[in-house]
Structure 1
């Protein structure tokens, strides 16, 4: 029974257990293999044993005994035909390593969901050793079959105002597939190249570089503009108008109240609040134009099919392209350049909301790690955190 327990603990079916001993705080299992004669790796002829010495490897971890080691004989053999000399090796055990592959993979898995430093302290191992094992074996935990139907593309800041990156995320599962440094068209194209084979929908903001990269890398995919960024064109104009007319004074509470009244749908306001908005619009033609264009676009966004969306969007553009208000004309000009993307935005169920939340998670991972050695390691950590491996 005791021998069977040790056999299951070691999990090496082909070895024979000789004995167990303890050296100071280290538990060592002496193992051996059945008698065999390794062949020469060059000519595949029989070899002769020259010397033999025992070597130890870390192989596992148990709650009560900590790290336990295995000890196996390593023979130095010589081929009698070609004179080749070599050392015997075992499957999944590198001859120059201090730990078996199974133990290294277990340590790498233990680092997912926690910090490398915490695992190194628990096992009483050097931080650099655990870090090397983690970045060696962690890529094998991720699936190589990347075939998303819809992806979100967005930029984030490594360092605000200085270094930026681009992230590609599955719009349905929330898994990040790639991170590239930069936010220009080339960086976006490199990130999209990872998913260009299967993607059908690409969701992005209104940046011109996004549109050019998507057309170049994924020409057959449907480009969907995020609805939030379209509405943001109107809300930014309303915010500038609020500051110009100084509605709500300087108090934070009043500012939020005014912003809510201007950006909210009229149906969701009570009659008293709607009357307040009417008075503001009567005071300023600028505010009235922006507010009316926003409510009219919300009516356009309620379209249920392509033809209805095209008809309503064309009517909106025809009405506001020559509006006396310059800000509304600028918004109309922006929408004219992206008519197809706006229609896809109205009819598609996808948005960039999940990507915006993931951007915050990426920043938290960056701060928690106090920086990373290179972008490849940072991208690997983000992929592991968002791939739901735990």
Structure 2
């Protein structure tokens, strides 16, 4: 990264000059502060946080640090990293049935399953990604069903899910292609997948009375047809433009089907995965769709046989908004780390600036949170990550993490 690491004095490794772990008024000084905002990269910069929000950002020569606040220092300071699509908190690190809540395969279409009801803020994976600079997760139900459930946005701290929660019901997660096919039941083909999605959307167009009592999934009361149906209500929010439908699609044919469905029903679609994106750049750009790209280092097999280290750079060159993700792994440790995924993309054609954007401000834009997170600007949440060198270099370490002014990690990872 072009002089991302400007050597500081030997003593400028992360230094805590006050030991108050829960301080809300702090200042962070960096040899370089990568704001990912209008100020760009600030040499010898300072970020001041008060009551969890950023109140000042700029060169150290121009910023007065209030007396008595905690001061942290690091060679490199960036916004807290944003994971644009994860299952962390639902997939537990033990990889045992009792901590795997990312998928319920009892029915193919379950948009009413809420991530907030399954998220475990104490799972070790939450701490692990936090120590590596990830301060915000867009997490929820994963692949394996046609419509697996809802997602949410959380900060990687908090003793309870309510304390971690930023937004509930951020998107509804759907899946097209082989990962969501069931040869023993339904859907068994891609045509049936699309037919089932259309049927669910058509049913939602009729509308359900939100004031009536709940029915079970898919149930109807013939004596009182106005009673609530949670499946229809979830899809009604998609049709109303209140909730995007995030469709995991890697094959070109599945991506085209997702765009066709969105145009047919007029809803907002986010394409997730997109291994074949390089084969249909013009269509994606014309549709104005955002992409949550597969992890850079995802295995090139099956649905991902066309995945490549260079796809992120291709999308950036094409002017298509995208973010990188950790995604879902079926094996231990259950998650990747977006810092490393962005690093590999930066080593394969993506500029360092675009690589960092893909896990900060661009990720925040795609999940609808760029008014709060993703860049170091006055008024935004005081979320920062600190590094002892170029964040994308293998030999560098995350040395400190701050979430809304709270020092949540001083581990060197």
TM-score normalised by structure 2 residue count: 0.23
Point out which structure has higher relative CO (alpha carbons under 8 A, 6+ apart).
Answer: 2
Structure showing greater radius of gyration is 1
More helix by share: 1
Normalising to structure 1: TM-score of the pair? 0.24
